[in-house]
Chains A and B, each alone.
Chain A
Amino acid sequence: MLTIALTGLNATDSPGAGVAVARALREAPGRAVRLVGLSYEPLEPGIFLPDFFAKTYLLPYPSAGSAALLERLTYVQEREQIDVLIPCFDAELAHFIRLEASLKALGIRMLLPTANQLASRDKLRLAEFGAAHHLPVPATHALHQPADLPAAAAALGWPLVLKGRWYEAETVHTAAAAEAALLRLAARWGWPLLAQRHLVGQELNVAGLAEGQGHLLSAVPMRKLTLTDKGKAWAGITIEDEMLTELAQRFAEASRWRGPFELELLRTAAGELFILEINPRFPAWIYLAAAAGHNQPAALLSLALGEPVAPFGPVAVGKLFIRCAWDLIADNEHFQLIAGLGEV
């Protein structure tokens, strides 16, 4: 019996991947797993799923620093003997990478990208990364002040997409609209912002897993069918697309990526393919990959344990996922314990 700890239990309308990863792990062939939840807030829905997590612990927010995280995980480890930990939340990754050796000394194994790999696919550096590795990234300009806008607009043309440093994007059609959006986004997310060429087309995603030597073990392409108003997929379908798989392969080779990743892509009417973002973790829809024959979380488990993993075969195409809003019923005591004592 292996004990696996997971973050990202926030299965909300902008979901973390933890619940989906947990679900895939429960179906890992030939493995019995015991799951420990790690959450940042006491109402992360995954905590309240019946029979999913043997125990859940609150973690200090990443803003409290890596030392606080290590201290908390040391406490958890004394009680749980975690074998493998799978971080599912972007903002915490830098800490886990920094703590990799310390956690290993406690007996906790992980499969993570390196600090350089994490930095190289950052929004601000993605264009540079794309140019260096011949990966198609839409033309992007960093805006450090409002005065940078005219030059960016002249180079990119109208309309263009303005993106916050961490989240949020807006398509603007005129200089006046751009200026207003610029100030709004900067007030929210700070400088710099990104101005990106506006592209119209089909949104596609690829969930991938690579072992760190340049070999891609799995790539599952998915087309989004419906979107929430936050642009998150609410339904999607696995597809067969050589170009997407090849792109994931090129990414894994070029970056020697270690661990899970998600490519967010866009294909124009002319058939051009662009990488919009590279996420350094499993996507929230990763259970679809397992359902399509690529149980990437189970494979990650084997890699983290140092076991050999053979590349997956073909993806079962035409598998659909449809997210379902479903109300869990819980006892208040459950909430009191996690909010008051930090564990339940």
Chain B
Amino acid sequence: MPLKKNIATSEAGFVFNPATGDSFAANPLAAEVLKLLQAGHDLAAIRAQLLERYDVPAHQLQHDLDDFIWQLTSFQLLEE
């Protein structure tokens, strides 16, 4: 489920989709997940990594990551 290649993410947590002209604000964890997606990690690896570092139950993280991927899909930020 890779991020589209030309998506630009800025230091301040902004995401720009050059194909549509849309800008997005990402909160810190969203920015982190986007960076990991861009680096080519798959979702399972990302989940494992976050579980280790953040104080969150596994099922909640799973739910939230699923929602986040839905969000990326509806914003047309993922490769088809």
A212 to B57, CA, bound (A): 63
**21 contacts across the A-B interface (CB closer than 8 A):** A332-B16, A332-B23, A333-B10, A333-B14, A335-B23, A336-B10, A336-B12, A336-B14, A336-B16, A336-B23, A336-B25, A337-B12, A339-B23, A339-B25, A340-B12, A340-B13, A340-B14, A340-B23, A340-B25, A341-B12, A341-B25
CB distance from B23 to the nearest CB of A (A): 5
A69 to B65, CA, bound (A): 34
Chain B residues whose C-beta falls within 8 Å of the C-beta of A335 in the assembled complex: 23
| B-contact 0/1 string along A299-342, CB 8 Å cutoff | 00000000000000000000000000000000011011101110
Chain A residues close to B by CB (< 8 Å): 332-333, 335-337, 339-341
CB distance from A97 to the nearest CB of B (A): 33
A340 to B26, CA, bound (A): 9
| A-contact 0/1 string along B1-27, CB 8 Å cutoff | 000000000101110100000010100
Chain A residues whose C-beta falls within 8 Å of the C-beta of B12 in the assembled complex: 336-337, 340-341
A339 to B23, CA, bound (A): 9
A337 to B14, CA, bound (A): 9
A9 to B57, CA, bound (A): 46
Compute the total of residue contacts between A and B using a CB distance below 8 Å.
Answer: 21
CB distance from B70 to the nearest CB of A (A): 21
Looking at A332, A337, A339, A341, the one whose CB has the most chain B CB atoms below 10 A away is: A332
A173 to B10, CA, bound (A): 59
Q: What 13 new A-B contacts, CB under 8 Å, besides A336-B12, A341-B25?
A: A332-B16, A332-B23, A336-B10, A336-B14, A336-B16, A336-B25, A337-B12, A339-B25, A340-B12, A340-B13, A340-B14, A340-B25, A341-B12
Of residues 10 to 62 in B, which have CB atoms within 8 Å of A's CB atoms?
10, 12-14, 16, 23, 25
A-B interface, 4 closest residue pairs, ranked by CB to CB distance from nearest: A340-B25, A336-B14, A336-B23, A340-B14
CB distance from B71 to the nearest CB of A (A): 16
Chain B residues whose C-beta falls within 8 Å of the C-beta of A339 in the assembled complex: 23, 25
A294 to B23, CA, bound (A): 43
CB distance from A210 to the nearest CB of B (A): 44
Looking at B10, B12, B13, B14, the one whose CB has the most chain A CB atoms below 10 A away is: B14
A337 to B13, CA, bound (A): 10
Using CB atoms, name the residue of chain B closest to A336: B14
Using CB atoms, name the residue of chain A closest to B14: A336
CB distance from A330 to the nearest CB of B (A): 13
Chain B residues whose C-beta falls within 8 Å of the C-beta of A336 in the assembled complex: 10, 12, 14, 16, 23, 25
Chain B residues whose C-beta falls within 8 Å of the C-beta of A340 in the assembled complex: 12-14, 23, 25
Chain B residues whose C-beta falls within 8 Å of the C-beta of A332 in the assembled complex: 16, 23
Chain A residues whose C-beta falls within 8 Å of the C-beta of B13 in the assembled complex: 340
A193 to B12, CA, bound (A): 48
A341 to B14, CA, bound (A): 10
Using CB atoms, name the residue of chain B closest to A42: B23
A333 to B12, CA, bound (A): 10
A339 to B25, CA, bound (A): 8
CB distance from B20 to the nearest CB of A (A): 13
Chain A residues whose C-beta falls within 8 Å of the C-beta of B25 in the assembled complex: 336, 339-341
A168 to B16, CA, bound (A): 38
A333 to B9, CA, bound (A): 11
A144 to B13, CA, bound (A): 51
CB distance from A265 to the nearest CB of B (A): 44
A274 to B16, CA, bound (A): 53
Chain A residues whose C-beta falls within 8 Å of the C-beta of B10 in the assembled complex: 333, 336
